[in-house]
Amino acid sequence: MKDEPLVSVVIATYNMGQYLPDAVESVLNQHWKNLEVIVVDDGSEDNTPDCISRFKDDPRFRFVRTKNQGQPKAKNLGLGESSGEFVAFCDADDLWHPEKLRLQMPLFEDPGVGIVYSEVSYIDECGVEVSKSRPYTRYSGWVTNELAIKNFIPFGTAVFRRACVEQDGAFDETLPMGIDWDLWLRYSLKWQFQYIPEETYIYRLWSGQMSRNYRGRYDNAVQILGKFLESNPDVVPPTFVSRAWADMYVSRAMAIANAEKTFIEPLKDIIEGLRRDVSYWPAWRSLIKLILRRV
């Protein structure tokens, strides 16, 4: 891009003092210089203020402290404190690649593009690189149909226009989880998404992260998909709606089966998935896997 428009990066944190400084530093070390970093401390009880005190003299850095209200409100508070034409997020235990914004921002030269996202790499809790397969196909363009089936966008990789927030709102504060999928579904109705294959975001895998709460994740996913389809009844074609619900039930079934080594509950979910879309081959594959484990 000829000029560097301001990018606001929000880092919402809760008791992440051990990882937060590295996250902040990775954003401030961007080759893209016109940015601001807003750390929202959601009522941490650890040494978070001391851990990031070294950044207080950097004019691009701001620290906002609030009582504990949960991540949707913390992220929205950060959005309200930001002033950039573009917005991005970094989780407090993750990292940005220094080339992230330089690689992603040029795609916004197309005024119809609202969100640019990328591929992700992984590290463990000690910062050691972890090899992990890429389970999802990524899509560009008008992605509502595909996005209804699967949230294929790694949240921290995404950069989006402030105009998206102004037109279609911020995070739904009634949702404790899955807030990014809800956001992307709403934005996909008016904006195109663009994907780049470079790994610009480094996701940390460790035992304390919320993403391990698979039951809570799927409870919220069912709510999010149902609300979106009810609010936009004619947007997603019936075949995609059936496929979306089939994938929901089958994915939940295998998450429970893998974590809890159970049979009956996952079986019921897979059968419900097949009832929604009998041609959905991953459901048949999952059914075979489940039965073979039982034998």
d(CA 286, CA 290): 6
Amino acid residing at 291: I
d(CA 233, CA 262): 35
Whether 209 has a pLDDT exceeding 70, the answer reads no
pTM of the model: 0.94
Q: What is the pLDDT of residue 1?
A: 63
Please give the CATH superfamily to which domain 7-209 belongs. Answer: Spore Coat Polysaccharide Biosynthesis Protein SpsA; Chain A (3.90.550.10)
Nearest of 211, 73, 223 to residue 154 by alpha carbon = 211
Phi-psi region of 273 (alpha: psi -120 to 50; beta: other; left: phi over 0): alpha
The pLDDT > 70 percentage for the chain reads 98
Record the tokens describing residue 232, joined without a space. 């936009």
100-115 pLDDT tens trace? 999 999 999 999 999 9
Average pLDDT, the chain: 95
d(CA 120, CA 62): 26
Cα angle: 24, vertex 76, 151; to 5 degrees: 85
Question: Domain extents for the chain?
Answer: 7-209, 237-294
Residue 154 is given by DSSP the state: -
277 touches 246 (CB < 8 A) = yes
**What mean pLDDT do residues 113-140 have?**
93
